[in-house]
Every structure is written in structure tokens, then in C-alpha cells.
Amino acid sequence: MACRAFGRRNYFLLSIAIFTIGSGLCGMATSLGQLIFFRAMQGLAGGGLQPSSQAILLDSFPPEKQGAAQTLFGVAALLAPVVGPILGGYITDEYSWRWVFYINLPVGALALFLCWLMVQDPEYLREHRKELKKQPLNFDFIGLGLLVLTIVCWEVVLSKGQEWDWLSDAFGRVQVLLALFFIAGASLVFCERRHASPIVNFRPLRDRNFAISSLIIFLAFAVLYGTSTLLPAVLESLFGYDAFHAGLVLSPSGVSAILAMIVVGALLGRALDARWLIAAGLLILAAGNFWMSQLNLDISPWQAVWPRVVIIAGLGMIFAPLNVAAYLYIPRTLRGAAVGLFALLRNEGGSFGTSMGQTIIERREIFHALRLNENLDRLNPAVRSYLGQVQHGFLQQTGDPAASHQMALQSLEDLREQQASALAYFDAFLIFTVVAVILAFLVLLMKRSVAEKGAHLAAE
């Protein structure tokens, strides 16, 4: 509604400007608090860019060309996983993390100029904006306040939950935030269902396909962000990679996503039921995570590349069919609300996956360290042999028997921590495998979903 009243073109230009300014301010931040605030500014501006950009494409192309236009849009969006990790790692290693933000300034300025030059609101939207200006302001301030409170509580709990020990928090911070989250969330649903122009319209969730698709996109993005944050951590903490070489391992997967999206778009155009593509993509996603869970610390870089390629290929197969299945039975009057709700759940799924992945790692690492301790005693011949060999080597270096003994024990402890951490990471990938398999079975509850000719087929 705000976009219609303000003008889609004006909203788009303002969002690009705020996002670009936020990038510059992030680069100049002098404290963690400032960095978080400016990143929040970026998120506020960037959150609506993807839905509004797709709406601009839908208005700019006739129905028979919308699939091709949206596919090109998806290909451009998926180039980021190819270029981003390598470029970001190189900039961080060779210059400074601040330049990761500064590099957005010329790009944002160019985007702002090109959009100002070429993007125009369609005639129907200009007429609608004139009608809205004649009406009294009916903005949903209560809904906006409840939405902000709900999201803030949710994000703080996800980011701080593990640090505060979740529901065992001695100071009650997590418990209070969760109570506020549920109260604000319930109030949001209650108020929005009764408002004429709600800030968040929950009516699309009445459709079975949209509800299941929303759950799938939420958890699929949780798996995506979970694996995307854990794999670089594995490579840097356990394998000793720097940011640039970790980016090299991650980048080839973007190519598989682009290829998968193009193939899926062609299959959907041939009237293939989207449900089977969603299920196939989820099973491929599960296979990639299972492959990742079976690795060890003696692998080469390419052995980490291929499971990641499989994971992202599976995700590339999911997004376009989910668009078809989610919106196929939604009335045109509710499609704008459905797109916004879908985008919100997708973004929050990423936050959920990042937080849950970190929680799994920390808890499973403690578990595996305790289990490994059960066999690390002096009566174990393997332990005695290891300590004897290592202590002898340290003794030759230092000439101090007491110091070499302590160094040998420290070496054993470091090895235990390394193995416990590795097992925890592989456990996380195994849990993501189970999540993806369960989601594949949910597809059976969806209605038949065959794309109409000229429909929006592209991934987001």
C-alpha cells in the first residue's frame, strides 16, 4: 500500500539511495552498535527491493515474455554466490573489511542513476496513486508497531539465545522476549485480520498450497543460510583456509544454481507439475547435506566443493516451482500481500537457520568432547603411544622433560577439541538432511500445480 501511495518508482529509488548510504556508513562504523544500526538501515531499505523489482518486470513485459525476463533476473541475482565469496574474501585479506561496504557506493550510485533514467510507473499505478491521494490516510500504524515488536523479539532471541542459554537463562531475558514475541504475534494476527488495509495480510495463508510453500521456503532458506555460514567456518577454523580460499570453495556452487534454474524453468514451461520439481530439489538438497556430513578432516578442497554444488543445485530447483505452487491459487487481489509475506518468511528463515546452526555446533561440540574424553585415559594404549611419541619430539626441541610433558598433554587436548568440533559440524549437516527430507514429504499435501502459459516462472 505504501508503495502504491508513494509511487513504485519513487520507492525503488529511495530504497536504493538508503541502501547505498547505509553501506557507506557501515564502512565508517567505529563500534559494533553503529555497525548493527547501519546494517539495520540497509535491511530496511533492501527488504522491498526484490519484490518491487519483480513487480516492475511484470509491468514492463507482456505475459508471454515475463518468464524469460524473470529468468534473466534470477540468473543475475544468482551470480552473487559465484562472485561474492571470492571478491569479499580477496578484499578482506588484501585490504580491509570496510571495503566490502565501500565497494557498494559506486555500484549503488550507478543503479540509482539508471533506475532514475529508465524506470517509470505504469499508467494504472499512477491513476491508482491519484485516487489514494484523495482518500484520508488509513495507514496501519498499530500493525506496523506490532510487527516491529514481533520481529525485534524474534531476532534478539535468535541472535542471543545460545549466549543466554535459551530457556535456562538465569536473568529471564529469553523467557520475557519469547512471551513478548507470542503476545505481539498473536495480537498482530488478531488486528491484521480486522484491518481494511493491513500492513501484513495473512489471508493468503488460507490457501493450502501457499501455506505449505511458505513453510518450505522458510526452512529451505534456514538450511541454505545454515550451510552457508557453517561451511566457511569449517574451512577457516579446522582446515586453516583464509577468507579468499574459503570463497573459492563456495563460489562454483553458484553455477549449478543458475543451470538448475534454467532447466527447471524450461520444464515448468512444458506444463510439468511443480510439486515433483520441489520434491526432487529437496531430496537433492538432502543428498548434498548428507554427503557433507560424511566428510572428514583429511579431504582436499574439491571434496568440499562438490557437496556444496549439489546443495545449491537442489535449492536452484526449488525456488521457481515454489513460485508457481505458492501463487497459482491466490486471487489477484491478494497476490501483492502474498509476495510480501513470502519474502518476509524467506528472510526470517535465513536468520533462523544461522542461529540454529550455531546452536547445534556449540551444543554438539560439548557432547562430542565429553564422549571423546571417555577414551582419553592413560590406560588406553593408543593414548599412551601418542603421548610418548609427541613428548619425545617436544623433548628434543626444548630439552625440558616437564615442559615437554605439558606440551604433549596440550597437543592431545587440541586434537580432542579439533575432532569434537569437526563432529559437531558434520552433525549439523546431518540435521539439515533430515529437515530437507521431511519437507519433501510435505509436498504430497499440496494441490496439483502446473504453470499457466506466460506465468512467472523464475526463481526469486
Pairwise CA distance, residues 351 & 428, whole Å = 16
Closest Cα partner for 260 from 300, 311, 209? 311
Q: Are 315 and 228 in contact (CB under 8 A)?
A: no
DSSP 34-65: HHHHHHHHHHHHHTTHHHHHHHHHHHHS-HHH
The number of C-alpha atoms within 13 Å of 433 and in the hemisphere containing its C-beta is 17
DSSP 199: S
Residue 260 burial class via C-beta count within 10 angstroms: exposed 0-12, middle 13-18, buried 19 and up: buried
pLDDT for 319 beyond 70: yes
In the predicted model, what is the mean pLDDT of the chain? Answer: 83
Contacts of 49 (CB under 8 A, 6+ apart): 12, 15, 16, 19
Q: What is the CA radius of gyration of the chain?
A: 25
Contacts of 150 (CB under 8 A, 6+ apart): 181, 184, 185, 188
Over residues 181-194, mean pLDDT: 91
Closest Cα partner for 227 from 140, 153, 290, 289? 289
Q: Quote the distance between the C-alpha of residue 154 and its chain's center.
A: 16
Closest Cα partner for 93 from 229, 241, 233, 243? 243
Q: Considering only residues 371 and 228, tell me which one the structure prediction assigns the higher pLDDT.
A: 371
Closest Cα partner for 306 from 376, 371, 231? 231
CB atoms closer than 10 angstroms to residue 245? 16
pLDDT for 139 beyond 80: no
Angle at 88 between CA 87 and CA 91, to 5 degrees: 85
For position 435, what pLDDT does the model report? 95
Residue 130, C-alpha cell as written in the block: 491519484
For position 74, what pLDDT does the model report? 65
Q: Are 150 and 181 in contact (CB under 8 A)?
A: yes
Share of the chain above pLDDT 90, in %: 23
For position 364, what pLDDT does the model report? 92
Residue 382, C-alpha cell as written in the block: 593408543
Q: Which of 56-65, 195-204, 269-278 is least confident?
A: 56-65
Contacts of 184 (CB under 8 A, 6+ apart): 146, 149, 150, 153
For position 178, what pLDDT does the model report? 94
**Confidence tier at 75 by pLDDT (50, 70, 90):** low
For position 64, what pLDDT does the model report? 56
For position 459, what pLDDT does the model report? 39
For position 460, what pLDDT does the model report? 43
Q: Are 395 and 252 in contact (CB under 8 A)?
A: no
For position 214, what pLDDT does the model report? 93
For position 136, what pLDDT does the model report? 65
For position 245, what pLDDT does the model report? 77
For position 63, what pLDDT does the model report? 58
Pairwise CA distance, residues 293 & 413, whole Å = 24
Looking up cell 578432516, which residue turns up?
A: 297
Positive/negative CA dihedral, 8, 350, 299, 389:
positive
DSSP 239: S
Pairwise CA distance, residues 426 & 354, whole Å = 15
Pairwise CA distance, residues 175 & 171, whole Å = 9
Looking up cell 506444463, which residue turns up?
A: 271
CA dihedral 123, 126, 127, 130 (to 10 degrees): -170
For position 2, what pLDDT does the model report? 47
For position 409, what pLDDT does the model report? 87
pLDDT, tens only, 201-235 = 888 999 999 999 999 999 998 998 888 888 888 88
Q: Which of 53-57, 173-177, 451-455 is least confident?
A: 451-455
Q: Are 127 and 56 in contact (CB under 8 A)?
A: no
Q: Is 79 in a helix, a strand, or coil? A: coil
Over residues 101-117, mean pLDDT: 89
For position 177, what pLDDT does the model report? 93
Q: Which of 77-91, 103-117, 311-325 is least confident?
A: 77-91
Residue 325, C-alpha cell as written in the block: 505452487
Strand spans (E) along 224-277: none
For position 421, what pLDDT does the model report? 92
Residue 142, C-alpha cell as written in the block: 498499530
Pairwise CA distance, residues 460 & 343, whole Å = 9
Over residues 240-250, mean pLDDT: 78
For position 188, what pLDDT does the model report? 92
Closest Cα partner for 268 from 231, 321, 215, 211? 321
State the helix-helix crossing angle for 301-327 and 274-293, rounded to 10 degrees: 160
pLDDT for 49 beyond 50: yes
Q: Are 22 and 31 in contact (CB under 8 A)?
A: no
First to last CA, the chain: 21
Amino acid, single-letter form, for residue 426: F
Pairwise CA distance, residues 386 & 376, whole Å = 11
